[in-house]
Copies of this chain bind each other. A is one copy, B any other.
Amino acid sequence: MNSEAATARIVMERCDILGGISEEVGCLTRPFATKAMQRVNDTVAAWMQEAGMRVTRDAIGNLIGRYEGRSAAAKTLVLGSHLDSVRDAGRYDGPLGVMVALACVQRLHARGERLPFAIEVVGFADEEGMRFSRSYLGSRAITGTFDSTWLEVRDEHDISMAEAIRAFSGSAEPQELAEALRTPRWLREELLGYTEVHIEQGPVLEEMGLPVGVVTAITGQTRLRIGFTGMAGHAGTVPMSMRRDAFSAAAEFVLAVEGIARSMPGLVATVGQVNVKPGVSNVIAGQVTLSLDVRHQDDTIREQALLEMEARGRDIGLARYVTFVWQPLEAHDAVPCSTYLTQLFVRAIEEVEYPVQRLPSGAGHDAAIMSTLTGMAMLFVRCKGGISHNPTESVTSEDTGIAIDVLERFIKLLAQEARE
């Protein structure tokens, strides 16, 4: 076994170890600020120290390992991902990125190599937002974009976020805590950028037969609630010509949405949640509510698609005498990756002689929040069947080895450029 393969094997083993640290027996569930997170932080902190890093934890409980650069005045490259999980999770979503980053630093340390910049590896304390239904708590706190009103939000056991944080990270007074969460860890000018390795959580790389891909942007997203109100009626007594069937209208809309999404390259649109009232087999649907989730890496294309979908919905409603309601719930713009950092990833992949596949990230990541403070780039690693948020989540040791190799070359290229 060569040294890259041995490093990959260690990363895989470490993901297995972390995957066994859970709040639930028999499955991996690691919410923010729990005992399982504490154990994971302790475990990873030890590995960071082994890799020659100085370890700290911030006010919200992010774990940060710092590997100093050649000079104290050096800038900092931040690498990272999250250490929390969803309920009944896989073991790679989050931890893989932290372990790959750690492996690269470990190898620098083993060679006694110092770079013209410091590296900080961050294990974010919360990205999934499972416990408090608020996402990216870790990266929001570290970038000073945390909304302090969230401290009042309570989990299912009626514990407030402030109480949970205090118990978890031992932070002092509420006032101090709110202040700490509003303060970015770094000044903009101290940073070289942020880079995250993450499993793809989609099927594209597997379909292309590629171990890794470079992310172009984190897609913009609009979430909506769609309503159709027709007229409930007896399934036996209302002739087809006299029906105002809300579910038939909804079905027509779903196909229209699919058609529009298929016609616009890169667009994804999903109706995943459906509620039909009264929802009885012998009663014509009177009311249907759908969720609609639309994403694209280009905000103008997403906006265009939404206009078309809304127009189609209105037409369908008018033609069927069914009331159509279009209710946007939430929207956020696309976050483009740094051209400069992404180009370094492209060169690194070319060096290891793989075709360069560029793809957007349809899922959100800490990188999106980190981009408020510095340029960011992401490397995706192929996962089996595109499956994530599921215990069957799977990544090969070979692909992990390639990801380590690419990230190491990325760091080297950045070091060369920094030196020039």
Interface residues of A (CB under 8 A from B): 200-204, 207, 219, 221, 223, 233-242, 245, 247-248, 250-252, 254-255, 258, 261-262, 266-274, 276, 278-285, 291-293, 295, 361-364, 386, 388-389
A242 near B293: Cβ-Cβ < 8 Å: no
Residues of B within 8 A of A201 (CB): 234, 237
Q: How far is the CB of A209 from chain B (nearest CB, A)?
A: 14
Please, how many angstroms separate the alpha-carbon atoms of A276 and B291 in the complex?
Answer: 12
B240 near A251: Cβ-Cβ < 8 Å: no
Residues of B within 8 A of A363 (CB): 234, 236-237
A238 near B293: Cβ-Cβ < 8 Å: no
B202 near A221: Cβ-Cβ < 8 Å: no
A235 near B280: Cβ-Cβ < 8 Å: no
Residues of B within 8 A of A207 (CB): 242
In the complex, the chain B residue whose C-beta lies closest to that of A283 is B272
Please, how many angstroms separate the alpha-carbon atoms of A272 and B283 in the complex?
Answer: 6
Please, how many angstroms separate the alpha-carbon atoms of A386 and B241 in the complex?
Answer: 14
A221 near B236: Cβ-Cβ < 8 Å: yes
A274 near B272: Cβ-Cβ < 8 Å: no
Query: In the complex where A254-B248, A255-B248 touch, is A272 in contact with B237 (Cβ < 8 A)?
Result: no
15 A-B Cβ contacts within 8 A? Answer: A203-B242, A233-B386, A235-B293, A236-B362, A238-B268, A238-B386, A247-B271, A247-B272, A272-B278, A272-B279, A272-B284, A273-B276, A273-B280, A274-B276, A282-B293
Q: How far is the CB of A254 from chain B (nearest CB, A)?
A: 4
Query: In the complex where A273-B280, A293-B281 touch, is A219 in contact with B247 (Cβ < 8 A)?
Result: no
Q: How far is the CB of A269 from chain B (nearest CB, A)?
A: 8
Residues of B within 8 A of A361 (CB): 236-237
Residues of B within 8 A of A266 (CB): 239
Q: How far is the CB of A256 from chain B (nearest CB, A)?
A: 10
Residues of B within 8 A of A274 (CB): 247, 274, 276, 279, 285
> Could you list 6 further interchain pairs (A-B, Cβ under 8 angstroms) beyond the known A201-B234, A207-B242, A236-B361?
A202-B236, A203-B242, A236-B295, A237-B361, A245-B270, A272-B282
Residues of B within 8 A of A362 (CB): 234-238
Residues of B within 8 A of A203 (CB): 233, 237-239, 242
In the complex, the chain B residue whose C-beta lies closest to that of A258 is B248
B238 near A202: Cβ-Cβ < 8 Å: yes
Please, how many angstroms separate the alpha-carbon atoms of A284 and B261 in the complex?
Answer: 14
B285 near A281: Cβ-Cβ < 8 Å: no
Residues of B within 8 A of A204 (CB): 237, 239, 242
With most chain B CB atoms within 10 A of its CB, the pick from A238, A248, A251, A262 is A251
Q: How far is the CB of A250 from chain B (nearest CB, A)?
A: 8
